[in-house]
């Protein structure tokens, strides 16, 4: 599952792309398939967590936050390694205070995993990539096949 950086629509993309680079089903812009975390505002954040069929990792951060900057490469690497299986979003708490208040964010960075619109895990503070990956791994398991 990939989020269109132009319109925010969620798109399923098959492993093979016979017609070249995939485009968004809604706006027809090229999709970004690296899995890199995408900056979102409050509205895009709410839409993504409500409609994503894959787990959503949200990095609550601010540009002045040293630990946020320090952990950003680990978040980026983890998101890219799980492209299509995880939607990674970055929410600037200074520019978007409403979600921070709604979810009780009291320190940054704070990471929240959402599934089916619900918070399922939370981690505050910067972690090394291996620890972040270990914390996130239960939510990256392949879904059970439906009969």
Specify whether 50 is located in the same domain as 105.
yes
Specify whether 39 is located in the same domain as 85.
yes
Q: Is residue 110 included in any domain, yes or no?
A: yes
What predicted TM-score, i.e. pTM, was given to this entire model?
0.86
Which residue shows structure tokens 């994503």? 52
Contacts of 43 (CB under 8 A, 6+ apart): none
Phi and psi torsions of 122, nearest 5° = -145, 140
Specify whether 41 is located in the same domain as 27.
no
Q: Is residue 96 included in any domain, yes or no?
A: yes
Number of domains in the chain: 2
Specify whether 104 is located in the same domain as 56.
yes
Specify whether 123 is located in the same domain as 92.
yes
The whole-number mean pLDDT for each consecutive block of 10 residues of the chain, a chain of 147 residues, reads 84 67 85 89 93 94 96 96 93 96 95 95 94 93 46
Q: Is residue 146 included in any domain, yes or no?
A: no
Contact of 68 with 55, CB cutoff 8 Å: no
Q: Is residue 145 included in any domain, yes or no?
A: no
User: What is the structure's pLDDT at 142?
Assistant: 55
Specify whether 10 is located in the same domain as 67.
no
* Residues designated as active site: 65, 68
Closest by CA position to 107, among listed 52, 62, 73 = 62
Specify whether 11 is located in the same domain as 55.
no
Boundaries of domain holding 22 = 1-33
Closest by CA position to 37, among listed 77, 93, 97, 96 = 77
Specify whether 29 is located in the same domain as 45.
no
């Amino acid at each position: 599952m990939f989020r269109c950086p132009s319109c925010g629509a969620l798109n399923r993309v098959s492993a093979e792309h016979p017609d070249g680079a995939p485009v968004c089903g809604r706006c027809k812009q090229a999709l970004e398939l690296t899995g890199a975390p995408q900056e979102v505002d409050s509205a895009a954040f709410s839409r993504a967590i409500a409609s994503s069929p894959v787990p959503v990792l949200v990095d609550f951060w601010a540009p002045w936050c040293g630990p946020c900057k320090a952990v950003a490469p680990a978040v980026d690497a983890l998101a890219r390694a799980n492209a299509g299986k995880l939607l990674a979003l970055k929410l600037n708490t200074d520019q978007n205070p409403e979600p921070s208040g709604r979810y009780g964010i009291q320190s940054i960075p704070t990471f929240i995993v959402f599934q089916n619109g619900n918070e399922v895990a939370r981690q505050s503070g910067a972690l090394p990539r291996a620890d972040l990956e270990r914390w996130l791994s239960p939510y990256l398991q392949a879904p059970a096949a439906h009969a």
